[in-house]
Amino acid sequence: MSKMMMVNLPVRDLPVSTAFYEALGGTLNPQFSGEKSSSLMFSNEIGVMLLTHDQYSVFTNRPIGDARRDNQMMIVLTVDNRDDVDVTVSRAVAAGGRADPNPAQDLGFMYNRHVEDPDGYVWEIVWMNPAANF
């Protein structure tokens, strides 16, 4: 059986965040979406579950941090080619994100940029040359 990865994120405004993640390339899974959550799939194995703060609090006793103030993690999403990095960032910005909260990197074999979602979570959009030797 293949493994699956779901990233669970508490969000302030579910419709705004859902639109952002759809622009980032996720497909809404209505089976696990409703008034308190949105399930977005990036592949058969990778998904993001957006939860209102009230719903997220059902699963933890810890306080919800502020991703706009404190760096908690950086999530990487790969794309198929170099141009898709810029296209993906542009789509995400048009849906309420903020481009380049961290500097872009062009290492020749790898190109990346970052986009911050409406709640402050930073996504690194990366293309790596499959022919490169490491």
Tell me the domain boundaries of the chain.
5-60+72-128
What average pLDDT score do residues 49-71 get?
93
pLDDT for 76-127, tens place per residue? 999 999 999 999 999 999 999 999 999 999 999 999 999 999 999 999 999 9
pLDDT at 1: 66
Mean pLDDT of 6-24: 97
Beta 105-106 vs 98-99: how paired, if at all?
unpaired
CA atoms within 13 A on the CB side of 82: 10
Asked if residues 67 and 118 have their Cβ atoms less than 8 Å apart, the reply is no
CATH class of the domain defined by 5-60+72-128: alpha beta
Query: pTM for the complete prediction?
Result: 0.88
First to last CA, the chain: 30
